């Protein structure tokens, strides 16, 4: 089944303790992205990657890092999490062919930073 | 950058009635406008999209219209059913889709 898999689904952590949220896709998509979803704010892009070793900032990159060493994986790293990073996070991917811009989203990771 | 505004934030309709959700965008270079449906506990799922060279697109009970002059686009759901209840997001991008900018979402509730 074609899908984007995020882990973990739920995570509670303490301020300052480094964490990584993993994202993997099995569709051979070139493009991957991370979004955070907050009430009343919709989905805001954190980082995106056009292909392996190519990453760029989205609208809200502060406090986050990403890497794209393999095509299928795009982990999100919080080096020193803070309470304002408590949110619902989504990873998404798409194939970058002309005329096809549909995203496939993962099921989400609900992060709480206390 | 692009700014997408979505209205209303909540919408309740009776089963069988139509629902309309509206979005406006700010960047006249935007040319791709997808709509996503998010059910409780799940990630958003693409339900329909439209490109700037088309004014309207239909897929069964769902249709999207685009007015490039006014920079707004709308989602129309006819003959609503309880399973249409979800959060709907509009989005816009300039075609390269490096960045897809989302609206703030509409919670649609279809009352039986």
Find chain B residues with C-beta within 8 A of A90's C-beta. 43-44
Smallest Cβ distance to A43: which of B45, B95, B102?
B102
- Other Cβ atoms less than 10 A from the Cβ of A3: the count is 15
Q: Is the dihedral of CA B25, B54, A58, B39 positive or negative?
A: positive
Given an 8 Å threshold on Cβ–Cβ distance, is A42 in contact with B103?
A: yes
The closest alpha carbon to A113, from A12, A7, A21, belongs to A12
Measured CA distances, B107 to A61, B1, B8, B88 (Å): 27, 26, 8, 7
Are A68 and A74 within 8 A, CB to CB? yes
Bridge partners (DSSP) listed for residue A25: A4
Residue A38 has pLDDT above 60, yes or no: yes
Mean per-residue pLDDT, A13-31:
95
Where does A1-114 show beta strands of DSSP type E? 4-7, 10-13, 19-25, 31-38, 42-51, 54-57, 65-66, 76-78, 87-94, 104-105, 109-113
Over residues B38-63, the pLDDT tens digits come to 999 899 999 999 988 889 999 999 99
* Whether residue B68 has pLDDT greater than 80: yes
Element (H, E) at A56: strand A54-57
pLDDT level of residue A102 (50, 70, 90 thresholds): confident
d(CA A91, CA A79): 18
CA distances to A16, A65, B18 from B39, rounded to whole Å, are: 32, 28, 19
* Contact predicate B38/B91, CB 8 Å: no
Select the more confidently predicted residue: B71 or B97.
Answer: B71
- Residue A62 CB contacts under 8 Å (≥ 6 apart), including other chains: none
Residue B28 has pLDDT above 70, yes or no: yes
pLDDT of residue A37: 95
Closest CA–CA distance from residue B59 to any residue of chain A (Å): 16
Q: What residues contact residue A96 under an 8 Å CB cut-off, 6+ apart?
A: A29, A30, A31, A50, A51, B97
Do residue B44 and residue A103 have CB atoms under 8 angstroms apart? yes
Q: Is A47 on the interface with B (CB under 8 A)?
A: no
Residues, chain B: 112
Mean pLDDT, residues A70-80: 97
For residue B39, the distance in angstroms to the closest alpha carbon of chain A comes to 10
pLDDT computed for residue B97 by the predictor:
54
pLDDT (0 to 100) of residue B93: 86
Examine the pLDDT at A96 and tell me if it is beyond 80. Answer: no
């Amino acid at each position: 089944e074609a899908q984007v898999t995020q882990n973990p689904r739920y995570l509670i952590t303490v301020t300052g303790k480094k964490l990584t949220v993993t994202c993997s896709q099995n569709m051979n998509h070139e493009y991957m992205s991370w979004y955070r979803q907050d009430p009343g704010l919709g989905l805001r892009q954190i980082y995106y990657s056009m292909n392996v070793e190519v990453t760029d900032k989205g609208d809200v990159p502060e406090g986050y890092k990403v890497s794209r060493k393999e095509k299928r994986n795009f982990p999100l790293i919080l080096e020193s999490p803070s309470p304002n990073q408590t949110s619902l996070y989504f990873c998404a991917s798409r194939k970058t062919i002309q005329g096809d811009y549909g995203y496939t989203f993962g099921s989400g990771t609900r992060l709480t930073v206390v | 950058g692009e700014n997408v505004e979505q209205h209303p934030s909540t919408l309740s309709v009776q089963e069988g009635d139509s629902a309309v959700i509206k979005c406006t965008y700010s960047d006249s270079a935007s040319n791709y406008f997808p709509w996503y449906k998010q059910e409780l506990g799940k990630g958003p799922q693409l339900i329909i999209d439209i490109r700037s060279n088309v004014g309207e697109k239909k897929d069964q009970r769902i249709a999207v219209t685009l007015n490039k002059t006014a920079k707004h686009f709308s989602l129309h759901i006819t003959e609503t059913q309880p399973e249409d209840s979800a959060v709907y997001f509009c989005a816009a991008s300039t075609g390269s889709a490096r960045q897809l900018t989302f609206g703030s979402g509409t919670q649609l509730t279809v009352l039986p």
